[in-house]
Amino acid sequence: MNTAQQLLFNTRAAFKSGITLPVEWRIEQLNRLLDLLNENENALLDALHKDLRKPKLESIETELIVVKNEAINAIKNVQTWSKPTYPSKAFVQMIDSVYILKEPYGVVLVMSAWNYPIQIIFSQLVGIIASGNCAIIKPSELSPVTSELMSKLIPQYLDKECFRVYLGGIPETTVLLKERFDMIMYTGSSMVGKIVMKAAAEHLTPVILELGGKSPVYVHKDSDLKLVAKRVVWGKFLNLGQTCTAPDYILCHNNVVDSLIDELRKTVEEYFGSDPKESPDLARIVNARNFKRIESIMSATPKEKLAVGGETDESALYIVLNAFAESFKYIFFDVLLYFIFGKMTLSTAPTVYKDIQLGDPIMEGEIFGPILPVLAVNGADEAVEIINSQEKPLALYIFAKSDKVGCNVSYLKPPPPFLLSCTSSGGVTVNDVLMHAASHNLPFGGVGNYGFILFFYHYLDIIQHLDSCSPGNSGMGRYHGKYTFDALTHEKPVVYRGQNFESLLSARYPPYSEKNLSMVS
């Protein structure tokens, strides 16, 4: 057996032992997870700063608090979630007991992203624990300090047999994906999401893919533009734009587009100063490859369209060393470089472009960085047309004061905005950004173009279909709170029938006759 096979074999053995089934054990593990977060807060914050130079407030607000709330919610409710449910009976079940058992799948593979390395892994782990599953956890090699820290802390606090951390880069991940898991949860790019789904299809393994895409913002002409700018600039440049639900581009009513750009400029300076590079409140680009990718987007956009920012700062020393480390794909080497050269960072100032057209290179794929294109539109109708011409986004944001962008849907009070009812997206926030994805009481996920039904087809058909898809798919499946529990739970129907009342069933037995038919009818 190779390392991945041995890891999975041992973890599956732990699951088969039945240790995860008692709800009391699950609650104990969830409390241990809270202990991990509370007792190691400074170490976790320091790791996030070394990997991404995340400001302390952002790390606490978007990483630690999110997971703590998830864990506390699960501890309070897992007893109820785990109980059997009793559906209404059909006529043929009147003499039976009918119920649905909540059964864990088994071993879940968690493949996490580097942009929110603590929040993503631990919020998913909360649902895995609560639902009684085991997990093999694969942190991203692009956030090496945080990944290394979690590989030490998780076995210190959680059951070592049930929850195992697997470190490595692309070669190690490729080996891991050849194994048969009971569920795969992947967070990251649509390109890698396709690779994960192909690997899962080999074993008909269900997947939850949280991807991304170009999440649009529509700004109507009646909006408070100062308020819009404050909220959009915060959400866009949080984690320096490296957020899957970050606003990717703005569709602004052409009557107010110049005024909005002016407010965006003022707000960027208000938040980050005249020289954002020196701001302690901005994170940094994760590595040289992503820095170059963002630079290429900027170089392909005409300078006359630059409205705000545009400055970059690249440390040649950092890039050389980081490229050297990546070539070896060893996390311990990355960690060493971060400890030695932790202050050397890659920076791009918050940048806004104006007069952007749909066919411009900046609109070709998800930006995932501190660049915000603004497109002028004639109104909500044109905005809907543009949004629907793209892949379904992970998020949609609508800013409007009045019901002028609403439509008359009488059974909903108040009626939904026009953009809400005429577009499809993973989630929507009206008059703010990110908030639909920030709480455990709402499901979080994308709108898959394929859905789980694909797993009923031959996997080669799936692979051929995936290869024909354009990039930018927002994902499939959902999680957060009880939705994670449900996604990782098999609802097993049970009909319990006694060994009596045989006369009521006699009509179903051969030899068949007209009398049998009349009794059945």
CA–CA–CA angle 368, 374, 378 (5° rounding): 135
Catalytic residue at 491? no
Q: One of 70, 210, 263, 326 is an active-site residue; which one?
A: 210
Taking CA 454 as the corner, what is the angle to CA 448 and CA 459, rounded to the nearest 5 degrees? Answer: 125
Token output for 511:
């030899």
For 343, what's the count of Cα atoms within 13 Å in the CB-facing half-sphere? 1
Q: How far apart are CA 121 and CA 461, in angstroms?
A: 31
Q: Return the residue matching tokens 């603590």.
A: 118
d(C-alpha 197, C-alpha 177), whole Å: 10
Distance CA 505, CA 514 (A): 16
Taking each helix axis from N to C end, the angle separating 23-39 and 41-52, rounded to the nearest 10 degrees, works out to: 70
Catalytic-role residue among 63, 244, 366, 391: 244
- One-letter amino acid of 147: S
For the record, the structure tokens of 156 come out as: 């210190």
Is the peptide bond between 414 and the residue preceding it cis, with omega within 30 degrees of 0? yes
228 in Cβ contact with 260 (< 8 Å): yes
Nearest by Cα to 252 from 370, 372, 348: 372
Percentages of the chain per state (helix, strand, coil), in multiples of 5: 50, 15, 35
Backbone angles phi, psi at 133, to 5 degrees: -95, 165
Active site residue 244: yes
CA–CA separation, 264 vs 344, rounded Å? 29
Rounded CA-CA distance 467/462 in Å is 9
The catalytic site residues sit at 210, 244
